[in-house]
Structure 1
Amino acid sequence: MGKKMLAGGQLKDALLHYSAAVDGDPSNYQTYYKRATVLLALGKSKSALPDLDKVIEMKPDFNAARLQRGNVKLKQGKLDEASTDFQEVINRDPTNKDAENQQKLIKPLKIDIKEAMELIEDENYNDAIALLTRCIEICPWDPELHEKRAECHIAQGDYLKAINDIRPTTKLRNDNTEGYLKLSGLYYNMGDAEESQIRECLKLDPDHKRCHDHYKKVKKLSKQMSSAQKYINENKWKECIEKSRVMLKTENKVNAYILKAHSHLCHCNMKDGNIKEAFSECNKVLNMDENNIYALCDRGDTYIINEQYEEAVNDYQKANQIDKENSRVHEGLNRAEKLLKQSKKRDYYKILGVKRNANKKEILKSYRQLAAKWHPDKYEGADKKSAEKAFIDIAAAKEVLTDPEKRSKFDNGEDPLDAEEQAQQNHGFHGFNPFESSGFQFNLGRNKFIYPKLDETQLEETLTSGHGPGGQSVNKTTNCVVLRHKPTGLFVKCHESRDLNVNKKLARIRLQEKLDLHQNKSRSLQSMAKKDAARKRAQKVKKTNERLQKLAAFKEREGLS
């Protein structure tokens, strides 16, 4: 029955069968040997040895058991004990080739191990690793060989390979608290504050001081790291900055955590608009890791906020050379290049004299001051035309920068008030301005798109009193323009300026946008722009998910999950 189970691969059932047989007849050396064979097949060499010892004690001339025990001892690295067993088999059976071949391995192994130890002392780690690897192929259950090779990998800074050597020693040595402590330390030095391995150490010895101290530190740092990441996910930049500084106080020696903390400080200071601090922290990261894509992108964004577009393009170009598939890099480079080009044209931030990270309150304050200065009816200079142009630019800047959607477009290198640019962005037109020509049309699949041209004969213009810029009451003149499109009934109001001509021009621009939305609906410039923005967001989410899936697969493949 046991033989049938063993032949059929039913090892656990076979083990139960032979254990029952041993209990039923403890004087039968054959059942001990068969149970040892099953245990070896299950990979339980430590449990198999007592059975083999029992067999040899009961029947010293049983060469098969002695040869099997010699093989186990050889794999465990107990070379002298293995050699004794092989020699006993040879003495009893000089024709036994298996024992003879195994015996021939012992002497060269001893020489290789001795030479490997000397190479380690001489810090010749590459040659030592090569020798130890050859020895481990013959003695895979020798914990000392794995530990020595791990030392070489650690000396070379290859913690992942060291982990692969230390991990089996936690099973090869009984109650290996030192192995679990070393394993946890390696994960920690890689930047993975792994708590599970150190918990295994404490399970074996709850009073182990070094394990307990390390566990406390790992738990504390893990909590701080989780909090910092949580604040990033919630856009709580000030809290992220504070928690990242705490991380540096907790761990200021292991580079992986120092780099992580400075990376958070680089990103969160940039997001919080702390330009000087962001540059400082991003530079610290790049001094430690010059190819850190996240720091290059964050510093690139900081350059953009600081209106240093050429520097931003340089950072994103370097990031693109490192990772050509990164969606954030592609979007950032595209944005930086557009902004560099845009900076040579009309810049709404410069028109209002505000920084790119200015809030709405700051924008409106600057707008009111400049609007009061450049009102054509208040302007004291001789060039009224220049004042009118300046005021139109100021009004346009206020319109764009106080509208989240338009501001987002402008921040990404598009001018939402530039009809030519919008046509190029959404419909593929080049060098054609719909505001300066009659209504134009083109095909979109089976549908036609026609951008509306205002016909003055279809407009009804009335004037009424209103409120001027900044809430100033206007009672003496009727300069609020109400412009209605008679065929559709659509209308707009405009009272941005005390200058009637300025308000008339602005009213016509806004009515034209409204007609486009009414007439073309989902094909309007505004709708197409929204769809394009949504498409870009979806692509970004998709690429982010793909990157996370690849990262998860890598961690699982490397045993880091």
Structure 2
Amino acid sequence: MDWCRPAGLLCSLSLLTAILGLDGVFAATRAEIEHHLEMGRHLLAAGQLAEALSHYHAAVEADSKNYLTFYKRAAVFLAMGKSKSALPDLTRAIQLKPDFLAARLQRGNILLKNGNMEEARQDFEEVLQRSPEHLEAQKHLMKAMELENLQEDAHALYHRGDYGATVSVLERVIEISPWDPESRELRAECYIRMGDPQKAIQDLTPTTRLRNDNRAAFLKLSKLHYSLGEHHESLNHVRECLKLDQDDKACLSHYKQVKKLSKQLDSAEELIQDDRYQDAINKYEAVMKTDPHVPHYTNQARERICFCLLKLKLVMEAIDVCSEAHQMDPRNTKILRDRAEAFILNHDYEKAVDDYREALEFDSHSNDLKEGLERAQKLLKISRKRDYYQILGVNRAANKQQIIKAYRKLAQQWHPDNFQSETEKKEAEKKFIDIVSAKEVLTDPEMRQMFDAGDDPLDPESQQQGGGNNGQAWPFSFNPFEGGSFHFKFQ
């Protein structure tokens, strides 16, 4: 070169130094690559996958011509469950070394699990062309051919409307290709048509991860959860759809519907927690208007309105609404429990016993239902002897002022002094004792609580059977006529 001639020796020395320097850089790079590969192997063996992957990244960046480096990084991706990330590395390894059978076999296996049977078959056939006795490649090739036949059968059965048979075929398809979203989506559609949304949800859920942009699956999942009354889950899935595309019209429309109804339901429950039962009733009536076409929400609204009416002591209204709710949802134990309690307030103890028994048929392990049945049976037994509420003609929700008012009216009517003949006086005396007894029990908080629980505090037999007062005779028994004549004065 002309520029070296004036000082040829010096120029030659400089050029040699430069060449030696570059060779040193290359040597250092190879050492770094070996270091990263060694660290990657060590960390992979220790199960530290993320750390191992970072070292393999560095090795690939330093040397993009080493097919083994790509293959090893693919192995880490597979260990992390990232088969999609492993595929490009396996493909690059095959490009760098076309006769690398391990990489072809691994890639074919991933493609087969993803449902790409044509590409998978090509890899297995290439392995067998180079190594005809390769048993694993033969096995996988047979699976690929089986998969092709199964997929054809599944689609033919689906188009004929034989969804049960389609599901049976797809079970084997998914066993061979567990990462294939299309097969799971088809089976989910069969379950929907067979009326089994829960199984459809189980199939659709993984497809949201198996496809990069599976808005259709998120929307379908949202609608399925919505139809089952799981409005919070429905809202979560439709939001995932909008994260992928905030302008997706179908997802946006469904989101507005779910959000409105979900807000109403949450608000209604908050009102119940705050004992604002009438406001909760109004909110649940709005729920039924928001979406009258989804049975779960109208049934839930009726169930909760029934509960609120019971809490408000609106007995007949509660019985009517609970009965309507029971007709729509006959296996709902909460409705049967609340109607039983309304029947108790209305002194219909036999009906209360029937409802509690029916509820226990659906939930035989519920302690609340068992205790409710026991109480209703006690009240029924007592009512056949003496029912203090019926004696005074008041309902079980009556307050003390109402009880005293009813007592005064009946006591004045049935006082023995109002009657002339001995027979009438004896009959009046008997009724009068019952009236006074009812007043004594129902105006005493402790005795009234016992009576409401199914024990008569003035019945010695009830107390001896283990009622109140630790099984001893109850101290409140009395007769207003004992010890001489009884003088009754009205204020």
For the superposition of Structure 1 and Structure 2, which TM-score range results when normalised by the shorter chain?
Answer: 0.7 to 0.9
Following TM superposition, by how much is the alpha carbon of 1:369 offset from its aligned partner in structure 2, in angstroms?
1.7
Partner of 2:394: 354
Paired with 1:360 and 1:238, the residues of 2 have a C-alpha distance of: 24
Partner of 1:247: 287
Paired with 1:54 and 1:303, the residues of 2 have a C-alpha distance of: 76
1:181 aligns with 2:181: no
Aligned positions of 1:46-125 closer than 5 A: 46-125=84-163
Which residue identity lines up with residue 335 of structure 2 in the other structure?
A: A
1:167 aligns with 2:208: no
Cα distance change on mapping 1:140 and 1:375 into 2, 3 Å: same
Partner of 1:10: 48
Partner of 1:307: 347
Paired with 2:179 and 2:172, the residues of 1 have a C-alpha distance of: 13
Following TM superposition, by how much is the alpha carbon of 1:92 offset from its aligned partner in structure 2, in angstroms?
1.8
1:136 aligns with 2:174: yes
Which residue identity lines up with residue 26 of structure 1 in the other structure?
A: S
Following TM superposition, by how much is the alpha carbon of 1:280 offset from its aligned partner in structure 2, in angstroms?
3.1
Following TM superposition, by how much is the alpha carbon of 1:25 offset from its aligned partner in structure 2, in angstroms?
1.0
Paired with 2:193 and 2:487, the residues of 1 have a C-alpha distance of: 74
Aligned positions of 1:317-332 closer than 5 A: 317-332=357-372
Cα distance change on mapping 1:427 and 1:369 into 2, 3 Å: closer
Following TM superposition, by how much is the alpha carbon of 1:245 offset from its aligned partner in structure 2, in angstroms?
1.1
Paired with 1:179 and 1:452, the residues of 2 have a C-alpha distance of: 70
Cα distance change on mapping 1:110 and 1:280 into 2, 3 Å: farther
Specify which structure has the higher proportion of helix: 2
Picking from 401, 425, 434, the partner of 2:442 is: 401
1:413 aligns with 2:413: no
Cα distance change on mapping 1:63 and 1:424 into 2, 3 Å: same
Contact 1:388–1:502 under 8 Å retained in 2 = no
The TM-score normalised by the length of structure 2 is: 0.84
Partner of 1:36: 74
SS in 2 for 1:425: coil
Paired with 1:12 and 1:74, the residues of 2 have a C-alpha distance of: 26
Paired with 1:125 and 1:282, the residues of 2 have a C-alpha distance of: 38
Paired with 2:82 and 2:464, the residues of 1 have a C-alpha distance of: 73
Partner of 1:533: none
Following TM superposition, by how much is the alpha carbon of 1:218 offset from its aligned partner in structure 2, in angstroms?
2.0
Picking from 237, 251, 261, the partner of 1:211 is: 251
More moved, 222-231 vs 203-212? 222-231
Partner of 1:343: 383
Following TM superposition, by how much is the alpha carbon of 1:372 offset from its aligned partner in structure 2, in angstroms?
2.7
| Partner deviation per Cα, 1:176-201 (whole Å, 9 max, x = no partner) | 22221112222212211122222211
Partner of 1:274: 314
Which residue identity lines up with residue 34 of structure 1 in the other structure?
A: K
Picking from 165, 190, 207, the partner of 2:228 is: 190
Cα distance change on mapping 1:115 and 1:4 into 2, 3 Å: same
Which residue identity lines up with residue 143 of structure 1 in the other structure?
A: P
Paired with 2:476 and 2:174, the residues of 1 have a C-alpha distance of: 80
Partner of 1:391: 432
Partner of 2:239: 199
Q: Identity of aligned pairs, percent?
A: 48
Following TM superposition, by how much is the alpha carbon of 1:157 offset from its aligned partner in structure 2, in angstroms?
2.4
Q: Which runs of 5+ in 2 are unaligned?
A: 1-37
Contact 1:392–1:502 under 8 Å retained in 2 = no
Contact 2:340–2:355 under 8 Å retained in 1 = yes
Contact 1:420–1:429 under 8 Å retained in 2 = no
Partner of 1:368: 408
SS in 1 for 2:313: coil
SS in 1 for 2:466: helix
The TM-score normalised by the length of structure 1 is: 0.74
Which residue identity lines up with residue 289 of structure 1 in the other structure?
A: D
Paired with 1:75 and 1:9, the residues of 2 have a C-alpha distance of: 24
Following TM superposition, by how much is the alpha carbon of 1:215 offset from its aligned partner in structure 2, in angstroms?
2.1
Paired with 2:194 and 2:166, the residues of 1 have a C-alpha distance of: 12
Paired with 2:277 and 2:487, the residues of 1 have a C-alpha distance of: 41
Paired with 2:50 and 2:214, the residues of 1 have a C-alpha distance of: 27
Picking from 248, 260, 272, the partner of 2:300 is: 260
Contact 2:457–2:476 under 8 Å retained in 1 = no
Following TM superposition, by how much is the alpha carbon of 1:40 offset from its aligned partner in structure 2, in angstroms?
1.1
Cα distance change on mapping 1:344 and 1:452 into 2, 3 Å: closer
Which residue identity lines up with residue 217 of structure 1 in the other structure?
A: Q
SS in 2 for 1:23: helix
Contact 1:150–1:163 under 8 Å retained in 2 = yes
More moved, 212-221 vs 108-117? 212-221
Following TM superposition, by how much is the alpha carbon of 1:4 offset from its aligned partner in structure 2, in angstroms?
2.3
1:424 aligns with 2:461: no
Specify which structure has the higher proportion of strand: 1
Paired with 1:207 and 1:8, the residues of 2 have a C-alpha distance of: 46
Partner of 2:165: 127
| Partner deviation per Cα, 1:131-189 (whole Å, 9 max, x = no partner) | 11111111011100010111112222222221111111111111222221112222212
Number of residues of Structure 1 aligned to a counterpart in Structure 2: 445
Cα distance change on mapping 1:348 and 1:35 into 2, 3 Å: same
Paired with 1:170 and 1:428, the residues of 2 have a C-alpha distance of: 64
Paired with 1:452 and 1:225, the residues of 2 have a C-alpha distance of: 48
Cα distance change on mapping 1:203 and 1:343 into 2, 3 Å: same
